[in-house]
Chains A and B, each alone.
Chain A
Amino acid sequence: MKQHKYQLIRVHVPEPGASVRFTGETDRSYGRLAGIFVAMPEPIKEIGAALGLKIGGQEIFDDEHDVRLLTCGREVAPNDKFYQFPEHIEAGGASIEGRLVDAANSDQGYPFEARIILHLVSEK
């Protein structure tokens, strides 16, 4: 049976234009990264923001990858929000290395917390 887990990563963005590195580890009980969703507190912060991501040392997104490709509006159903990876990405306790770059579209609403949610699956 396929089992699912949604793993939340919080990224603290202190000021406009901040480039924030984050690290972590995927839950080792789930072997594959199946999807990702990035939630920002307001739409203006999505425009121009970038997310770089490596899982287990493998580059998934380069540092200029646009957050708009990984997020969507509030009216989208939660199960449809995720970007689904067509390829197999090995997770299972893999290292997470990322960098979130704020677009500095406004000087209001700082500091804030961006949330990155990983959809992990176990297909044993």
Chain B
Amino acid sequence: MESVRRITRVLEVESMGAVVPIDLSLPSDARVCNGLQAMVVGLFPRVVSRDDFGELSLSFNGKAIHPFHQLVPYESSRAPMATPARLDLLSLSTPLTPSSRVTGFYRDLNAQVEPFVPYRVRLSLNLLIA
């Protein structure tokens, strides 16, 4: 049976429309990234749930593979049920070179109403280990 490591990296978004560069190192024994999810941490009372809160682009293995360019949603606590089904990871099956790096960016899509409230985005990655 395979071995799995789940890692989380946190991005800090400090201003409206900010582009946050991403440059992450992965464990040296990681062989495949088989899942990924990005989640906004924070509640913004005047923002309704939306699919286009942010934009995330990630490349693996020194930009050799670019499997992920996707919107990051925001879920308001006023949604009928904040998490009706269990949030799962988006499927990936990206082979990793030893000591692979993940690079890319997160862009805030100006969904907040002024005044802007800084927030965090959690990146969760599932890695298969050799």
A interface with B by C-beta (< 8 Å) = 43-44, 46-48, 50, 59-62, 64-66, 68-76, 81, 83, 85-88, 103, 105
Chain A nearest CB from B27 CB (Å) reads: 11
Contacts A48-B43, A62-B8, A66-B87 given; 5 further ones with Cβ under 8 A? A46-B82, A46-B83, A69-B37, A69-B86, A87-B1
B5 cross-chain contacts in A, Cβ below 8 A:
59
- Asked if A87 contacts B2 (CB within 8 A), the reply is yes
A64's nearest neighbour on chain B, judged by CB, is B8
Complex CA–CA separation, A91 to B56 (angstroms): 37
Separation in Å of the A103 CB from the closest CB of chain B?
7
Partner of B2, one of A44, A75, A86: A86
Are the CB atoms of A69 and B88 closer together than 8 Å?
A: yes
Would you call B6 and A68 a contact (CB within 8 A)?
Answer: no
A103 touches B2 (CB 8 A): no
| Chain B 1-30 interface mask (CB, 8 Å, partner A; 1/0) | 111111111100000000000000000000
CB < 8 Å neighbour of B83 from A59, A61, A73, A103: A73
- With A48-B42, A69-B88 known as contacts, the answer to whether A62 contacts B6 (CB < 8 A) is yes
- Is B86 touching A65 in the complex (CB atoms < 8 A)? no
- Count CB-based A-B contacts (< 8 Å): 83
Q: How many residues of B contact A (CB 8 A)?
A: 29
Chain A residue nearest in CB terms to B8: A64
Interface positions of B (Cβ within 8 A of A): 1-10, 37, 39, 41-43, 75, 77, 79, 81-89, 122, 124
Tell me which residues across on chain A come within 8 A of B88, comparing CB atoms.
Answer: 69
| B83 x A72 contact (CB < 8 A) | yes
Q: Which 5 A-B pairs have the closest CB atoms?
A: A43-B82, A72-B86, A64-B8, A73-B84, A73-B81
B8, B37, B86: the one within 8 Å of A81 (CB): B86
Residue of chain A at shortest CB distance from B37 = A69
Residue of A nearest to B43 (CB): A105
Subset of 9 A-B contacts with CB under 8 Å = A43-B83, A44-B82, A62-B7, A62-B8, A68-B87, A73-B84, A75-B81, A75-B84, A103-B41
